[in-house]
A and B are shown apart, each in its own frame.
Chain A
Amino acid sequence: DGGITQSPKYLFRKEGQNVTLSCEQNLNHDAMYWYRQDPGQGLRLIYYSQIVNDFQKGDIAEGYSVSREKKESFPLTVTSAQKNPTAFYLCASSPRGVADTQYFGPGTRLTVL
């Protein structure tokens, strides 16, 4: 089955540690995205990538980093510089670009203790 996988579903880290969230897609989509969701709020864009080896900052990129070495993979690193990292993180992909329909993974809930 084609789709987007995110792992792990739940992640716990101590304050001050970097942590990397995985996102893989086998839909052959060109574009991939990372969003953050806080309780009772909509989604905010962290980073996006429209092609391999290229990515752009979204609205709340500070304290996060990404890489796009393969078309299928778009890992997100939450660094110690992110002041309030506890949130639900969602990865998405679309066939060509942001104007296309985006399809979402199941999400990773990160809790920083």
Chain B
Amino acid sequence: EVQLVESGGGLVQPGGSLRLSCAASGFTFSSYAMHWVRQAPGKGLEYVSAISSNGGSTYYANSVKGRFTISRDNSKNTLYLQMGSLRAEDMAVYYCARGSLSGDAFDIWGQGTMVTVSS
């Protein structure tokens, strides 16, 4: 079964750091670009970051640039999001998503992990 499972969410103080993980299974992880998308409570979907299949290229939304770092370990079939200088507006459910091979859709999503930023 093709599956993505996020972990690492939790409560963090403003200014703090957190690392999210996304474990992939059921497909050749190293062949796919991967993405992070977040959803604040009761709000819509917001794109966060992307990484190419080999990890050589990354992209960040302006809202997280300089504070978040996306990475992957293809030997462990795992995607990461290192989040720093966290703000209240970063509080959201964070989803990892697989980029389709044609490159234009998010065809598999994880169940999400909640990040709460509060003192």
The reply to whether chain A is a binding partner of chain B is: no
- By a beta-carbon cutoff of 8 Å, the part of chain B in contact with chain A is none
